[in-house]
Amino acid sequence: MAQLNGEKAVQVSGPRPPDDAGTASGLKKKRWLPTPPEGVHKSVVVLRMLSPLLLLGLWQVSSITTESILFPSATEVLVAMWEMGTSGDLWVALWLSNQALIIGATASLILGITVGVLLGRSRRLDKIFGIYINIDLATPTIALLPIVIIIFGLGLTARSVVVFTFGFAMVVSLVRTGAQTVDEDLAEMGEAFAPTRWQMWSKVIIPGLLPALGGAIRIAVSRGVVGMVIVELILITVGIGGVVMDARALFQGDRVYAGVIIICIEALLLMAAGRWIERKIAPQGMYGSK
Amino acid sequence: MNSNGSTKAAKKIEFPVSTGLVITTGDKQGWSLKRVTAGFPWLTILSIMTALTLWDTIGRLGLFRAVPAVSKVWDAWLELYSGDLLSVLGTSATTFLWGFSAALAAAVVVSILTSMSKSIDYLLRPYIDAGMSIPITATVPILMMAFGINDTTRIAVVFLFAFFTMVISFQAGLEKVDPRHLDMAHALNSSKTQILLKVVLPSALPLAMTGIRLGVSRAIHGLITAEVILATAGIGWLLIRASREFNIPGIYAVTGTIIVITVVLMGSVSVLERRIHRVHS
């Protein structure tokens, strides 16, 4: 805050170069402080920027005062993360977990998009198979997990199938909606040019589907992370989830927190990447054209 | 509220969880068989029957160990029912109600606060966004350490699953106030509480109801997740117990119970939601 005021004071009192009128100082201000939305005082902006630090401080203090091994302090967790990172455990565990994520999410995307397009473009198919997707959407996927494990065992296959199960129904329903709502006006106009089936698909339907496909990628990945973690927390204790569960059994609070935070960071990064891809392939959004 | 006259024209009864079951009745009073059967999902029902038959045949032939015959699953369910199924479901229901109602209350309070003060909204936004984005499932081990392996943890998981979704929907609902209504209220010199109670809350109701439906769905997911991970009580524990005993028909019976309960619950909430949407549009 002091730094901020100092900066401002210098700017106001100092001799101003002629070309440094409005824009440059505006830019400089922005770099220090995001412009607050209307009706929000500057102090609130500063408070929001400081709030993560305040929370971390609160965590640190309360954990030191409680002195419990189950409630590690922020610094202990950081140290645990550092140790996991340098000893290599972390990367081995993450790689093990993410193999399932890569396989499962890819499969749920490929199959989910195919099924979604089919169900979206054919009312009859939707009547026959749509019901299973709807039931799957409504029920907690985790309830299907033991069945997956009975069928596929305890290996990478089972974990990949769990990741697949978590994303599949969501991807299908998103793409189905996308395929059903491909702009009818555009489709009609396309028909007027007497296109071949291939032209109709490549020029009208697939471009119309792009927003849904973008959303599908994001959903497959973000749901996939949940599936990846959940299976490791319950029945197959390997990978990063296994690290967390083992640490919990050994009352290593710091490693539990570290593992959970790493999972959350990975999820947030993947989500951000998914959003980025979504924006790249369809900046207009799912209902943007209307 | 004012469009009761127009709903008479054509009624469309859609079945819950968009099962594709749509029954259309005309503008005339009463039901005729023809009208009811017109939109009847014959194909869907045929598909379910076929799938069940196929499954049962595979089960009876004993082709795969993982696919038991339907009759065996039914027997397993009866066994569960005569055993501890009902008391376990009671435990689950209690956990669900505590977690969900706490999340509902908290979401109402937080969303009203953020709609009344832009500063609070600005302060809390990153945390609500973070809560929406991080996988709550991953935080269960931390909750287990913090609260122990007990009801508190399960309730906390249900709470976290439902809370953020509901806050976001409630906030969207509260933002949807018609500015003309607000102007009107201001012109009538209404107090802030009056505006909140008489203008803002009623107009937020439809989206809030959508939020509640999403919240119920998330809460069920949270409940099963917590029960399965903690594996000491509730229907999720039954699932884990059956799979540890390699009781394959039992797994199917529990999974089926979960599916039926979820579909029925979500269906009723959807019906309620649609009623409120209809009244308000």
Predicted pLDDT at B36: 56
What is the tally of structural domains in chain A? Answer: 2
Phi, psi of B14 (to 5 degrees): -100, 140
Query: Comparing A14 with A156, which gets the higher pLDDT?
Result: A156
Q: Are A62 and A144 within one domain?
A: no
Q: Are A13 and A125 within one domain?
A: no
Kindly compute the dihedral angle of the four CA atoms of residues B237, B242, B243, B245, in this order, to the nearest 10 degrees: 120
Q: Contact, A156 vs A148, CB < 8 A?
A: no
Min Cα distance A173 → chain B (Å) is: 11
The boundaries of the domain holding residue A133 are 83-281
Residue at A76 is within a domain: no
- Does B64 contact A at CB distance below 8 Å? yes
Question: What are A244-253's pLDDT values in tens digits?
Answer: 988 888 888 8
The residues in B 156-175 lying below 8 A from A, measured between CB atoms, are none
Min Cα distance B19 → chain A (Å) is: 6
Q: Are A179 and A233 within one domain?
A: yes
Q: Which residues, other chains included, contact B103 with Cβ-Cβ below 8 Å and sequence gap of 6+?
A: B158, B159, B160, B161, B162, B163, B166, B215, B219
Residue at A74 is within a domain: no
Q: For residue B17, give the nearest of A156, A75, A76, A136 by alpha carbon.
A: A136
| Angular region, B10: left φ>0, alpha ψ -120 to 50, beta rest | beta
Low-confidence ranges of chain B (pLDDT < 70): 1-39, 281
Q: Are A183 and A101 within one domain?
A: yes
Q: Which residues of B touch A245 (CB under 8 A)?
A: 141
Min Cα distance B255 → chain A (Å) is: 6
Q: Are A110 and A43 within one domain?
A: no
Locate the chain B residue with the closest alpha carbon to A46.
Answer: B123
Q: Report CA-CA distances (Å) from B13 to B24, B26, B39, B247.
A: 6, 11, 10, 41
Place A168 in a pLDDT band, splitting at 50, 70 and 90: very high
Q: CA–CA separation, A161 vs A104, rounded Å?
A: 6
How high is the mean pLDDT of chain A? 82
Min Cα distance A234 → chain B (Å) is: 6
Closest partner residue to A44 among B119, B137, B259, by Cβ? B119
Predicted pLDDT at A3: 42
Q: Which residues, other chains included, contact B224 with Cβ-Cβ below 8 Å and sequence gap of 6+?
A: A140, A142, A143, B235, B236, B239, B258
Q: Are A180 and A231 within one domain?
A: yes
> To the nearest whole percent, how much of chain A has pLDDT over 70?
86
Q: Hey, of A43, A71, A128, A223, which one would you mutate to test binding to chain B, going by the most B CBs within 10 A of its CB?
A: A128
List the beta bridge partners of residue B13: B23
Locate the chain A residue with the closest alpha carbon to B267.
Answer: A138
| Token code pair at residue B41 | 């999902």
Closest partner residue to A143 among B41, B126, B259, by Cβ? B259
Helix, strand, coil in percent for chain B, rounding step 5: 80, 5, 20
Q: Are A92 and A34 within one domain?
A: no
Q: Which residues of B touch A137 (CB under 8 A)?
A: 17
Closest partner residue to A229 among B130, B135, B258, by Cβ? B135
Q: How many CB atoms lie within 10 A of CB B155?
A: 25
Q: Are A242 and A166 within one domain?
A: yes
- Does B150 contact A at CB distance below 8 Å? no
Q: Are A64 and A155 within one domain?
A: no
ipTM of model over 0.90:
no
Residue at A286 is within a domain: no
Predicted pLDDT at A287: 54
Predicted pLDDT at A32: 64
Question: What are A170-207's pLDDT values in tens digits?
Answer: 999 999 988 887 767 777 787 788 778 788 878 787 88
Q: Which residues, other chains included, contact B109 with Cβ-Cβ below 8 Å and sequence gap of 6+?
A: none
Q: Is the dihedral of CA A59, A61, A62, A68 positive or negative?
A: positive
Place A11 in a pLDDT band, splitting at 50, 70 and 90: very low
Q: Are A35 and A107 within one domain?
A: no
Question: What are A88-123's pLDDT values in tens digits?
Answer: 888 998 999 999 999 999 999 999 999 999 998 888
Domain end residue (candidates: A68, A98, A126): A68
Residue at A159 is within a domain: yes
Min Cα distance A197 → chain B (Å) is: 27
Residue at A289 is within a domain: no
Helix runs in chain B, H state only: 33-38, 42-61, 70-82, 85-116, 118-133, 140-147, 151-175, 179-187, 192-194, 201-230, 235-244, 248-280
Q: Are A121 and A216 within one domain?
A: yes
- Does B33 contact A at CB distance below 8 Å? no
Please judge whether A229 and B255 are an interchain contact, meaning their C-beta atoms are less than 8 angstroms apart. Answer: no
Domain end residue (candidates: A43, A68, A93): A68
Please judge whether B47 and A151 are an interchain contact, meaning their C-beta atoms are less than 8 angstroms apart. Answer: no
Domain end residue (candidates: A68, A93, A121): A68
Predicted pLDDT at A85: 87
* Residue carrying structure tokens 């709609």: B115
